[in-house]
């Protein structure tokens, strides 16, 4: 028995045929965004040595933590340094004033009688900060006045040991994204010889070099190699002054930490050495703009590039 298809049915069949004959329409996929590494997505595919990091010298020695004016290098502590964007910290490890026990290992400047902080407690703060900011690579440079067993202890007890990266001398450094994905995003340098029992403690003069430090006047600051191996890609641009007494000069920090001064010095050194400073290290970080200087450097591929617009942030 045949059935007649009405006008409505014909229209439906025609519509279906037209849809089948139409060219396939594809919607473009949204480009997958990359989470920033140390503040910029562009940093993620760069090697550790191709990124500039803002660094505080004697990061522990701040007046708000009770350090005497003869020993202080900053007004505000390492928590606030982190919150302002600093991700590299120079720290001096000592025995405590009254004990050489592992648990009393301390961060002091010169002598613990001028101020000290328990090393495990301070490094635990950095551990907490890293856990809340997992897309950052962090660097510590220890000036060492204790056996390496003490460093091992404070890294273990603070939880930081689980994050340490081990770099073989002479091999290329990994990218930031590799370090972050592997959850090995902490680099530890020491002012001390390499010991294979502690492969995560990298001798900083074997793996890199530094400019001079604590000059008396801004005009004396140069890009010359002061110590270390200039053939290595890791380097510290030390950028603080000392006064006649030999202590850190807070009265002129605003001059040498100024954005233009720091940026121009960084570019001059980049031109001379062929690589941007890995670390821009300052005292009195609340005076000046080291964080934004490194952000600008990280937006450039060559020292001669047009300088990007200054980031609208405040590191104070």
- Whichever domain contains 62, its CATH number is 3.20.20.190
205 is a domain residue: yes
Closest CA to 292 of 58, 54, 56: 54
pLDDT score, position 168: 97
Q: What is the pLDDT of residues 292-310, one digit of tens each?
A: 999 999 999 999 999 998 7
For the cut 50, the answer to whether the pLDDT of residue 87 exceeds it is yes
Q: Which has the higher per-residue pLDDT, 233 or 17?
A: 233
Cα–Cα dist 173/88, whole Å: 17
Q: Name, in order, each residue with C-beta under 8 angstroms of 141's C-beta and a sequence gap of 6 or more.
A: 55, 88, 89, 90, 91, 189, 190, 191, 204, 236
pLDDT band at 6 (very low <50, low <70, confident <90, very high): low
Examine residue 18 and state whether it is found in any structural domain, yes or no: no
291 within a domain of the structure (yes/no): yes
Has residue 270 been placed in a domain?
Answer: yes
Is position 93 within any domain?
yes
What average pLDDT does this structure show over 214-222?
96
DSSP 8-state code for residue 241: B
Specify the number of domains making up the chain: 1
Determine the Cα–Cα distance for residues 154 and 164; give it in Å rounded to an integer: 13
Count of CB atoms situated within 10 Å of the CB of 313: 13
Answer yes or no: is 266 within a domain: yes
| Tokens representing residue 141 in the block | 């440079």
Helix axes 290-298, 259-273, angle to 10 degrees: 40
- For residue 176, name the pLDDT band (cuts at 50, 70, 90): very high
Q: Strands 111-118 and 53-56: what pairing?
A: unpaired
Q: Report the pLDDT averaged over residues 155-177.
A: 98
- Is the pLDDT at 199 greater than 60? The verdict is yes
Residue 273: inside a domain: yes
Range of the domain at 94: 40-298
Mean pLDDT of 48-65: 98
191 DSSP assignment:
E
Confidence of residue 28 (pLDDT cuts 50, 70, 90): very low
Task: Please tell me the predicted confidence (pLDDT) of residue 30.
Answer: 46
Q: Is the dihedral of CA 185, 188, 189, 194 positive or negative?
A: negative
Which has more pLDDT, 3 or 197?
197
Burial class (CB in 10 A: 0-12, 13-18, 19+), 314: exposed
Residue 27 in any domain: the answer is no
């Amino acid at each position: 028995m045949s059935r007649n298809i009405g006008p409505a049915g014909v229209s439906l069949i025609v519509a279906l045929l037209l849809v089948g004959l139409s060219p396939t329409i594809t919607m473009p996929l949204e480009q997958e965004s990359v989470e920033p590494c140390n503040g910029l997505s562009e940093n993620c595919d760069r090697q550790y040595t191709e990124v500039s990091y803002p660094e505080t010298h004697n990061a522990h020695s701040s007046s708000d933590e009770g350090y005497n004016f003869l020993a202080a290098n900053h007004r505000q502590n390492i928590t606030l340094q982190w919150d302002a964007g600093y991700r590299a910290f120079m720290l001096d490890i000592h025995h405590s004033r009254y004990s050489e026990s592992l648990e009393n290992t301390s961060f002091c400047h010169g002598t613990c009688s001028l101020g000290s902080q328990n090393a495990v407690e301070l490094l635990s703060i950095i551990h907490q900060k890293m856990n809340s900011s997992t897309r950052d690579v962090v660097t510590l440079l220890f000036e060492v006045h204790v056996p390496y067993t003490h460093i091992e202890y404070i890294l273990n007890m603070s939880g930081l040991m689980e994050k340490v990266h081990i770099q073989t001398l002479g091999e290329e450094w990994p990218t930031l994204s590799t370090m972050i994905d592997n959850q090995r995003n902490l680099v530890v340098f020491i002012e001390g010889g390499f010991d294979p029992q502690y492969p995560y403690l990298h001798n900083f003069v074997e793996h890199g070099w530094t400019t001079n430090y604590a000059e008396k006047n801004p005009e004396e600051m140069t890009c010359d190699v002061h110590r270390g191996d200039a053939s290595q890609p890791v380097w510290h641009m030390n950028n603080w002054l000392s006064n006649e007494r030999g202590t850190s000069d807070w009265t002129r920090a605003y001059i040498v930490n100024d954005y233009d001064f720091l940026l121009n010095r960084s570019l001059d050194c980049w031109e001379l050495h062929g690589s941007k400073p890995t670390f821009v290290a300052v005292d009195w970080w609340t005076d000046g703009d080291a964080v934004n200087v490194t952000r600008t450097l990280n937006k450039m591929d060559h020292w001669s590039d047009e300088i990007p617009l200054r980031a609208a942030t405040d590191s104070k």
